Structure 1
Amino acid sequence: MNDLFANRTMTRDGQLLLEKAQRDRIETVWDRFENQLPQCGYCEMGLSCRICVMGPCRIDPFGEGPQKGVCGADADIIVARNLGRMIAAGAASHSDHGRDLVDVLQEVAEGKATGYQIRDVEKLKRVAAEYGIVADGKDPAEIAGELAYAMQEDYGTRRKSLTLLQRAPAKRRAIWDKLNITPRGIDRETSEMMHRTHMGVDNNWQTLLLHGLRNALSDGWGGSMIATEVSDILFGTPQPAATMVNVGVLKADHVNIIVHGHNPVVSEMVLHACQSEDLLQLARENGAAGINLAGVCCTGNELLMRNGIPMAGNHLTTELVLTTGAVDMMIVDYQCIMPSLGSVAACYHTKMISTSDKARFPGMQHREFHPENAAEKAREVVKEAIENFADRGEVYIPVEPVKAIGGFSVETIVDALGGTPQPLIDALKAGTIRGAVGIVGCNNPRIRQDFGHVTLTQKLIENDILVVDTGCAAVATSKAGLKLAEAAQMAGPGLREICGALGIPPVLHMGSCVDNVRILVLASALANALGTDICDLPIAGAAPEWYSEKAVAIGAYFVASGVYTVLGPMPPITGSMNVVKLLTEGLKDEVGATFHVEPDPEKAALAMRRHIEGKRAKLGLPSLKV
């Protein structure tokens, strides 16, 4: 195998498909990354500014050139402004995803969303109660309508705080109030960040960063949390389900349909269409043995969590899966969808379908899905995929799939513990489990694909640290075989004992990247049970291969919630040592947690173990060797 391919990805399917892509003369994300080298040093350090047309401006990091932009902004202001705008974009992305789901909930309540229904009535009632909605004597549709209205209000600007903030420990909410970063309306905080970063508004780098935390919290405890809860209500709260992972999930004798993106509103209807008997019969009439639906990225994670649908890969696999020649159609919605996909698909027989009114892509046919027509549209596109089966050329599926288990919602974990988090607390107190780490985030061509996620996870579970993960990180560890009960043999003796007793893997798949909030909810439940704050728990977070603005918002709301968070790639902030120092040191005095940057996953694991041991010592728990 060519060392070039092995250096790009640690996955066997990825290496083989990169080799095929080279033979087929297909340009991939890694090729385009190398074509951009060397990348702009000003941009990497956060020292370029283009928010007005007096510029673009840049600050010379060596002090020999300009030290202020045309408006007079220095390095601290420019770096803080740029970071604030990244947080705003990331928070807007996940929160707007949540708004889309609330809109579907509203249409279900009004009987307008054909094909959708409320699948978890008990969760509907529980969440409605948090919004002060009385469920007694009301049918689910009426409760759903009232809940949708109340959640839509959280997006507005008239409230003093978001409803679901009440899930956070009282000590944590007091910190937010003291710092004046309690999020109000979800949209309000993003709008205010864009206002503050306009030229001539907020030119204090500290207050810009504090509002960045507030903006991020409006996502984590607002838009993203709403998205997860409404997805559970509409599509069902995840339960553990067996599945298969990697490109080997494609089937040469089936119509293969890939769903890609983040919004389960589309993928759920596609799933129903793929399971309909008349379309299965049509597939057989067209020479296929059946219809095989698989996912990539977080739309795939949504289907995996609730239905056990297989996953073909994560972010950096999305082009490679097309080079198999086995994909008859890829259906996308929004977020993390490379505009290159249309040109890659054009080299094979794959039909590319975009579905969102917010997201158009070159080389794709557009079939706009809305709640009232999604079931019909899904049937239309699945029929097109079936008819495309006959146009296949060479098919190359180079590996066998790997087994995995997904579907660990907070409810599932608590149920497995007997309905209370107390057994987990007891295991932490006894030292059977040293602590817990949430690993989240994307792939990034700067880093060997999946290496950061898998290596970090292996080092943590070896040291009796339970890992929960989401998004592309969850797919990476699934491909590596870490999401099976027998993977507990790779864990330390304490974690291995717990996994054996509960029949769970040492690494728990908690969903898509919007489902990072499940980790916050679980951490809050532990803190509330102990009568303490999240920042006092022996836990940490990590994003070893992150790339997106959403990841910046996620990291910010984890740190603002009190979770020590380790990043792989350095954010574009090194042009201001004041900003770097605040984020990696100063925030500890304000919110009880900081960022830490460590691209080496083994060193990152060691840093988290030391952090967890420090928290154990402060809680008076037995000290374990680092």
Structure 2
Amino acid sequence: MFDPKISLSVTTDGDPLYAKARKDGIETVWERHEAQQPQCGFCDMGLSCRICVMGPCRVDPFGEGPQTGVCGADADIIVARNLCRMIAAGAASHSDHGRDLVEVLAGVAEGSAIGYKIRDEAKLKRVAAEYGITTDGKEVLTIAGELADAMMEDYGMRRKAIQLVDRAPQKRRAVWEKFNLTPRGIDRETSEMMHRTHMGVDNNWVTLLLQGMRNALSDGWGGSMIATEVSDILFGVPAPRPTTVNAGVLKADQVNIVVHGHNPVVSEMVSLACQSKKLLDLAAKKGAKGINLVGVCCTGNELLMRRGIAMAGNHLMTELILSTGAVDMMIVDYQCIMPSIGKVASCYHTKMISTSDKAQFPQMEHIEFHPGNAEKKAAEVVRTAVENFTNRKGTPFIPVEPQAAVGGFSVETILGALGGTPEPLIDAIKAGKIRGAVGIVGCNNPKIKHDYGHVTLTRRLIENDILVVDTGCVSVATAKAGFKLPEAAAMAGPGLQEICKALGIPPVLHMGSCVDNVRILVLVSALADALGVDISDLPVAGSAPEWYSEKAVTIGTYFVASGVTTHLGPMPPITGSMNVVKLLTEGLGDVVGATFAVEPDPEKAAIFLRQTIEDKRKALGLDSRNVA
């Protein structure tokens, strides 16, 4: 509980669900953020170090106190080590997600993953061919087993390079070879990064950061890419589907089940259980008109992409969704799940279920899902949710109507809409109807008014004829704002509007969950190959206006290392070393042809991104506009 009279510096003022939560005395992420003020300046600048127990140490940025830690590490070393450990943690998170899916693929091949199957045999064979696996005359399950084994090899140290880097343009791979950035193994690069940052190993801040880039690439072109490809093989390649978003997708007269996290292995089985006639009959017996499955965060994005399942909200909305009193059960797996939500749910009737052997939470019942029992466990927890329907406390508070949207634009879908080739998109870019494209990705952060950065930046880009593709939590924000309908083309500039109307697509394309950022890499690689240029030559950019997590640091790093200049809203904890700041925002241009840029104001960020795109157009010999 908290004092509802407290004044917050950053709020979601005007949100009726936030007002409801405050009235109920629910402590949300915004109250906890306020309680942390002022936050530690040393940590904010990356100048604190606790990697050994001679410390903890901190370096004085004003030069009046200690300039090194106990071991002698200066600001450059401390800041670089801290940043690299964030990259390693982020790479481990998404890549381990990929490993989980490969294990399911192997289980399908062995017959031990009950309820799972190969849904896209054509994609299975295409990916297998990339790994040098012959498919002619082989049973599908044999191919699946061989592919799972080959992908597991990418996690080790026996190869000179992970397989899927071959998808990058040759010119980009040459850059990686020149600077020794080619990832050799997914786990290997993370392990080496942690080794290098141990006290007494790598104390050259430049080589530390270069290994950080190689570590990030091992995720972007390795673990995350494997996660996306195996998800498509097991659950189907996404295609555009109508859906709805925001808290209005909850139904007062139905059993509401929310899935939250990142792993579709759990949510796919839950979605099947929600369609069971036996459980639907039980729901009717309990007085409910159906079972309503909705998503939060990236597990929801996975279901939206493939099933059209509605999205109740993004990361920071989780506590507010619970405060409706309409959620009969929330089922979580891992990543971006605040340990606070079990406590919030206890104020209502909601049952909380954690499912991963890697992730347990306070005040949740833990029911582990594994490939061999997921189908059975899903049916059990959905039954429990149905039985909980009659335990609701009062009338649910659902103050908004759902917003219609379209999601599910895989690379295959986009190229298919263009006739199977990127040439029509290239022609539109050459003609200036589309000035370029920006991938907006990332999370929400309580330091920024909820969704403000995402929505404002997106609006400014599309009205200037820049196509936006998005993933993760930002995709929920832009869908709530109405950008993900074909009619939203009216909000775009005249050139982009013309293209969207011709193709019947929105000006903002939803490409999936945060591991699906790799779809953007595949798409820009196809554009670069078609033009015979490097990714760094394309009129494209990336942005994470409200990022917060270690995964976001890794994502941004593998985008920059792939040649995509990337904007960040919040400043990373690096300002304690101006050498590190200068390398990341300037020096990397001479290494990988792209840099980071930090700008918390989305209006100014839009100008920067537009100028970046116009500069790329000019360098390619295309027409360019003045940006103001």
What TM-score do you get using the length of structure 1 for normalisation? 0.99
1:369-406 Cα offsets, whole Å, 9 max, x none, are 00000000000000000000000012100100000000
Partner of 1:587: 588
Q: Which residue of 2 aligns with 1:318?
A: 318
The reply on whether 1:568 has 2:541 as its aligned counterpart is no
Counterpart selection for 1:8 from 8, 11, 28: 11
Deviation at 1:140, TM superposition (A): 1.1
Equivalent residue for 1:258?
258
1:449 corresponds in structure 2 to 450
Opposite residue 181 of structure 1, the aligned amino acid is L
User: 1:253-284 deviations in whole A, cap 9, x for unaligned?
Assistant: 00000000000000000000001111101100
Partner amino acid, structure 2, of 1:437: V
Shift of 1:22: 1.1
Q: Structure 1 residues 357, 73: CA separation in 2 closer, same or farther (over 3 Å shift)?
A: same
Partner of 2:243: 243
Shift of 1:623: 1.6
| Distance across 2 between alignment mates of 1:424 and 1:561 | 21
Letter of the 2:585 partner, please give it: T
Equivalents in 2 of 1:563, 1:623: separation in Å?
Answer: 19
Task: State whether structure 2 residue 216 is matched by structure 1 residue 213.
Answer: no
Q: What corresponds to 1:229 in structure 2?
A: 229
Q: Name the CA distance, whole Å, in 2 between partners of 1:298 and 1:306.
A: 13
Partner residue of 2:89? 89
Q: Which amino acid aligns with 1:70?
A: V
Partner of 2:623: 622
Counterpart contact for 2:453–2:602, Cα < 8 Å: yes
Please give the alpha-carbon distance, in whole angstroms, between the structure 1 residues aligned to 2:10 and 2:187: 42
Q: Distance in 2 between matches of 1:71 and 1:3?
A: 43
- Looking at structure 2, the residues matched to 531 and 450 of structure 1 have their Cα atoms a distance apart, in angstroms, of 37
Say if 2:416 is the partner of 1:421.
no
SS, match of residue 318 in structure 1? helix
Task: Note the C-alpha offset of 1:625.
Answer: 3.6
Contact 1:250 1:312 in 2 (8 A): yes
The separation in 2 between residues aligned to 1:7 and 1:70, in whole angstroms, is 37
Write the mapping of 1:419-498 to structure 2, written as runs, cut at 5 A. Answer: 419-498=420-499
Structure 1 residue 6, shift from structure 2 partner: 11
Once residues 191 and 354 of structure 2 are traced to their aligned partners in structure 1, the CA distance between those partners, rounded to angstroms, is 28
- Contact kept in structure 2, 1:102 and 1:152, CA below 8 Å: yes
Q: For 1:360, what is the secondary structure of its paired residue?
A: coil
What is the CA deviation profile of residues 87-112 of structure 1, one whole-angstrom value per residue up to 9, with x for unaligned ones? 00000000000000000000001111
Give yes or no for contact 1:9–1:451 (8 Å, CA) kept in 2.
no
User: Are the counterparts in 2 of residues 5 and 19 from structure 1 also a CA contact under 8 Å?
Assistant: no
1:290 aligns with 290
Q: Match of 1:437, SS?
A: strand
Pair 1:105-2:105 in alignment: yes
> Is the CA contact (8 Å cut-off) linking 2:455 and 2:477 kept in structure 1?
yes
The code of the aligned residue for 2:545 comes to: P
**Aligned-pair distance for 1:7?**
5.2
Shift of 1:511: 0.1
Deviations 1:351-381 (A, max 9, x none): 0000000000000000000000000000000
CA contact 1:431–1:624 (8 Å) conserved in 2 = no
The C-alpha deviation readout for 1:60-89, integer Å capped at 9, x for no partner, is 000000100000000000000000000000
1:201, distance to aligned residue in structure 2 (A): 0.1
Distance 2:291 2:469 in 1: 32
Quote the residue 1:129 is aligned against: 129
* Residue identity matched to 1:400: E
- Corresponding residue for residue 118 of structure 2: 118
Which residue of the partner structure matches residue 55 of structure 1?
Answer: 55
**Contact 1:9–1:450 (8 Å) recurs in 2:** no
Q: 2: CA distance between counterparts of 1:237 and 1:5? A: 43
CA offset digits 1:502-543 (Å, max 9, x no partner): 000000000000000000000000000001100000000000
**Contact kept? 1:286, 1:387, Cα under 8 Å:** yes
Give me the whole-angstrom Cα distance separating, in 1, the residues matched to 2:191 and 2:140. Answer: 34
**Residue identity opposite 1:446 in structure 2:** K
Classify the secondary structure of the residue corresponding to 1:319: helix
Determine if contact 1:5/1:18 at 8 Å carries over to the other structure: no
Contact 2:488–2:506 (Cα < 8 Å) also in 1: yes
Q: Output the CA distance in 1 between the equivalents of 2:336 and 2:344.
A: 16
Structure-1 separation of matches of 2:367 and 2:75? 45
| C-alpha distance in structure 2 between counterparts of 1:85 and 1:492, whole Å | 42
Q: CA deviation at 1:139?
A: 1.5
Q: What is the letter of the counterpart of residue 304 of structure 2?
A: L
Question: What SS class does the counterpart of residue 581 from structure 1 fall into?
Answer: helix
1:136-147 correspondence runs (5 A): 136-147=136-147
Given residue 403 of structure 1, which amino acid in structure 2 is its aligned partner?
A
Instruction: Provide the residue aligned with 2:355 in structure 1.
Output: 355
Q: Is residue 337 of structure 1 aligned with residue 337 of structure 2?
A: yes
TM score, norm. by length of structure 2: 0.98
Alignment of 1:397 onto 2:398 = yes
State the one-letter code of the partner of 1:515.
Answer: D
| CA–CA separation in structure 2 for the residues paired with 1:337 and 1:185 | 28
Aligned mates of 1:7, 1:502 — CA distance in 2 = 40
Whichever residue aligns with residue 492 of structure 1, its letter is G
Render the CA deviation track for 1:22-54: whole Å, top value 9, x for unaligned. Answer: 111110000000000000000000000000000
Hey, what does 1:550 align to over in structure 2? 551
Tell me by how many angstroms 1:624 deviates. 2.6
Q: How do residues 265-304 of structure 1 correspond to structure 2 at under 5 angstroms? A: 265-304=265-304
> Is contact 2:10–2:446 with CA below 8 Å preserved after alignment?
no
Counterpart code for 1:506: P
SS of residue in 1 equivalent to 2:433: coil
Rounded to whole Å, the distance in 2 between the matches of 1:34 and 1:5 is: 6
In structure 2, give the amino acid aligned to 1:29: V
- Opposite residue 193 of structure 1, the aligned amino acid is M
Does the CA-based 8 Å contact 2:266-2:374 persist in structure 1? yes
- Equivalent residue, structure 2, for 1:519: 520
> Does the CA contact (< 8 Å) of 2:312 and 2:321 recur in 1?
yes
Q: In the alignment, which residue of structure 2 is the partner of 1:578? A: 579
Q: Aligned-pair distance for 1:9? A: 2.8
- Secondary structure of the 2:591 match is helix
Please tell me whether residue 38 in structure 1 is matched to residue 41 in structure 2.
no
1:367 corresponds to 2:367 = yes
Question: In structure 1, what is the Cα distance between the partners aligned to 2:626 and 2:422?
Answer: 25
Q: 1:427 to 1:6 in 2, by over 3 A?
A: farther
Match of 1:305 in 2: 305
- Asked if 1:383 corresponds to 2:386, the answer is no
State the alpha-carbon separation in 2 of the partners of residues 304 and 625 from structure 1.
39
- Name the CA distance, whole Å, in 2 between partners of 1:293 and 1:5: 33
Number of matched residues? Answer: 622
Question: Once the 2 structures are TM-superposed, how far is the Cα of residue 210 of structure 1 from its aligned partner?
Answer: 0.2
Letter in 2 for 1:281: D
2:610 maps to a residue whose letter is R
Q: Secondary structure at the match of 1:623?
A: coil
Alignment CA distance shift 1:507-1:181 (3 Å): same
RMSD: 1.1
Aligned residue type for 1:135: T
Partners of 2:180 and 2:573 in 1: CA distance: 26
Distance 1:444 1:223 in 2: 25
Distance 2:8 2:64 in 1: 41
CA contact (8 A) 2:408 2:512 kept: yes
Letter of the 1:397 counterpart? I
Which amino acid in structure 1 is aligned with residue 335 of structure 2?
Answer: Q
Residues 488, 505 of structure 1: 8 Å contact kept: yes
Cα distance in 1 between the residues matched to 2:365 and 2:475 = 30
SS of 1:244's partner is strand
Runs of 5+ in structure 2 lacking a partner? none
